[in-house]
A = this chain, B = another copy of it.
Amino acid sequence: MTIADVANRANVSKTTVSRILNGNYAHTTEQTRDRVLQAIKELDYRPNALAKGLKSMKTNVVGIMLSNLKNPFWSTVLEGVEDTCHDLGYNLMICNSDEDEQLEEEYMREFRMRQVDGVIINPTGKNSPLYDSLIMEQYPIVFINRRVQNENASNVIVDNVKGAYIAVNHLLRYGRRKVAICMYRNAYVSTWKERLEGYKQALLANGFSESDLIIMELEEKADTKKESIIRLLKKHADIDAIFSTNNMITLEVIGALRELNLQVPAQIAVVGYDETVWAKYLDPPLTTIRQPGYQMGQRAAHNLIEMLSGKQRQQAMDMLEPELIVRASCGAIPGDTVLQPN
């Protein structure tokens, strides 16, 4: 079942069918148009996207590469990306680098062999030369969630410095004096650096000094995160608050606190990064920093596709706003208004 079959049935040439399929009515009368559309319907003709893409150099497929598919945070982002792609006539190819720079390169290669029109990527952060060369050759790419330091990169991120700042500032405003940050040991990823920076800024802005920073670092790949946290909690026995920098860490922190029988928020207050469906049902309900995941996905897909149609320049830096959601775990009054820095 090819375009030739349709052409035969309608007694026209392939050219004419192709024109009509693509809405190019310049060279056809309404009658031939009807004949062709009729034939298409009768034969239930489905164009072969491979052939089309091969000749036209455009597949209408975009790729998305995540670095940790397992984290439910991405469900929401993915939904935003998929919805937008569908609305704009694109299909989506997905892969998972699993924070592995080798895999990231390999998948990028596969995307390009498949002639994907562009890709959205949450970079591992470990492949700067790769990112740079892609940008240099103007390959359509949008970095999401994690920033890539290249002045010609297109990024869609959430303001991590601000998110961390409002979290920690909130804790300090409600009287906490020994606030620790709990994060992954990872030198490559912008999000961690920025959340650490926001934590630091909040402390300094509230009259604390560098020596008051309490940094609890975890191995990202380890299965023993909770044990590490317990160890760190024993080491820093005087802390009265924890700012936890992602949803997975937060769960482990809660587990550790429970195991040590430390009361939240009475003894230790907790603010977690990433609002989730379950945050409000935890014990106690968790104060979080909400990141607009769906919107981030939408924006990334939108920007990429604009870029493809040449409407938008390559370079862009979309910074979305995080939001503090106050619940009981931080020891403040739920319903309190959101605090802004400065």
Contact = CB atoms under 8 A, between A and B. Distances in A.
Interface of A: 46-51, 53-54, 59, 61, 69-72, 74-76, 78-79, 82-83, 86, 91-96, 109-110, 112-115, 248, 251, 254-255, 258, 276-278, 280-284
Given A248-B277, A251-B277, 16 more contacts: A46-B113, A47-B113, A48-B115, A50-B54, A54-B54, A61-B93, A74-B75, A91-B93, A91-B114, A92-B93, A94-B94, A251-B278, A255-B281, A258-B281, A278-B282, A282-B282
A21 to B, nearest CB: 12
Contacts of A74: 75
A253 to B, nearest CB: 10
B114 A49 contact: yes
A126 B282 CA distance: 36
A70 B79 contact: yes
A286 to B, nearest CB: 9
- Stoichiometry, as copies per complex, reads 2
A110 to B, nearest CB: 6
Contacts of A95: 82, 86, 91-92
Contacts of A110: 91
Given A281-B255, A282-B283, A48 B82 contact: no
B96 A82 contact: yes
A47 B114 CA distance: 9
Contact of A50 (B53, B92, B93, B278): B53
B278 A278 contact: yes
Nearest to A72: B72
Given A46-B112, A79-B96, A115-B49, A255 B280 contact: yes
A115 B50 contact: yes
Interface centre among A61, A92, A94, A251 (most CB of B within 10 A): A94
Contacts of A47: 113
A48 B113 contact: yes
A57 to B, nearest CB: 9
A238 B164 CA distance: 46
B109 A46 contact: yes
Given A53-B50, A93-B94, A277 B72 contact: yes
